[in-house]
Amino acid sequence: MKRNNSSSRLFSNFSLLTLIAVYILILVGGIVRSTGSGMGCPDWPKCFGNWVPPTDVSELPENYKEIYSQKREKKNERFAKYLSTLGFEKTANRILKDESILEEADFNKTKTWIEYFNRLLGVLIGLFILGTFILSIRFLKTDRTIFFVALATLLMVIFQGWIGSIVVSTNLVPWMVTVHMFLALVIVALLIFLVYKTSAGLGGNLKLTNQKLFLGVLTLCAITLLVQIVLGTQVREGIDRIAASLNYEGRHLWIERVGEVFIIHRSFSWAILILHILLLFIIGRQGRSIVTVFLLAVIVVTIISGAVMGYLAIPAAIQPVHLLLGTLAFGLQFLLFLQVSNVKGKLTTS
């Protein structure tokens, strides 16, 4: 029994460490986005053709822009073929005809190293995910769900890495960045499931007298949050276009030029806040839930950070924090769903 408990504890702790690392990567990804460093490395997985990026433009050939533009064009042609095969011919044609995708940015040492650090962290996350999968093998005979979820997480991370390379080759096409973000949320959910399933210290299951009502409101909370994330990505895409058109100057003009989508995004936050207050009210009448209280607190801080960006010309330091808080709220919602749905069950290891 001690060996079983020890094995479960090791797996749970390692999965939790991996989950924390993923959230750190999301934060760093937000920093990459807010500083405009996404194309700091024009190729993938290397950076300017090297595993360690250059520190000065003099280390690059004079025609480096042409070199990496041609490489990107070839990769996009292959990607367009995949899209056409899947039936997305319009999207494939749009990528092939968009000449702005092939425009190479001037070398910037700071942006290059920010993106390089992001990639190093991504490699570390990959190793953590691989370690999680290896540790899950011991559950194959006793709890296959853990093994297959760990396998799904590993496959998802591999797919996410490929999508990341496409994000680079398409020069940060907005919808590809959005896909990249939603895949990260799926990975977060899978890791939370693994941690919760094997942990003895995540609060256990919540026994409610009106479970259906709570799950109904929680589902509405989750749907509204996901809609808000979609709206947020649209706001982000609009700001990216406006910022590029203004050569990343005049930050006070970015929000006002985004248009209606920002107003909808801002107003929708009230619906999210009211639903989460209702969620806390329902569970408050039947017991205590630290997760629910923490979730509401995260929602409030997320709204505050959004207001700061709206009224203070989108401070670069707040953007990644706003993104991190949104994904953290999603993770807490999923954890609550697991607690109320009573999916933990008994756990043994071989």
Query: Is-contact 38 171, C-beta < 8 A?
Result: no
Which residues is 50 bridged to in the sheet?
A: 47
Could you report the per-residue pLDDT of 26-73, keeping only the tens digit for each? Answer: 999 888 877 878 778 888 778 888 888 888 888 888 888 888 888 878
DSSP state of 200: S
Q: How far is CA 294 from CA 142, 175, 286, in A?
A: 33, 31, 17
Q: Global pTM?
A: 0.84
Written as one letter, the residue type at 138 is R
Residues of the chain by 3-state class (helix, strand, coil), percent to 5: 75, 0, 25
pLDDT tens by residue, 241-254 = 787 777 777 777 88
Whether cis (ω within 30° of 0) applies to the bond prior to 45 is: yes
pLDDT of residue 82: 81
Confidence class of residue 2 from pLDDT cuts 50, 70 and 90?
A: very low
pLDDT at 305 over 70: yes
pLDDT in tens, 183-202: 999 999 999 999 998 886 56
CA distance linking residue 29 with residue 148, whole number of Å? 28
pLDDT tens for residues 213-227? 888 999 999 999 999
Q: Tens digit of pLDDT for each residue in 144-175? A: 999 999 999 999 999 888 877 777 666 556 66
The conformation of residue 55, written as its DSSP 8-state character, comes to S
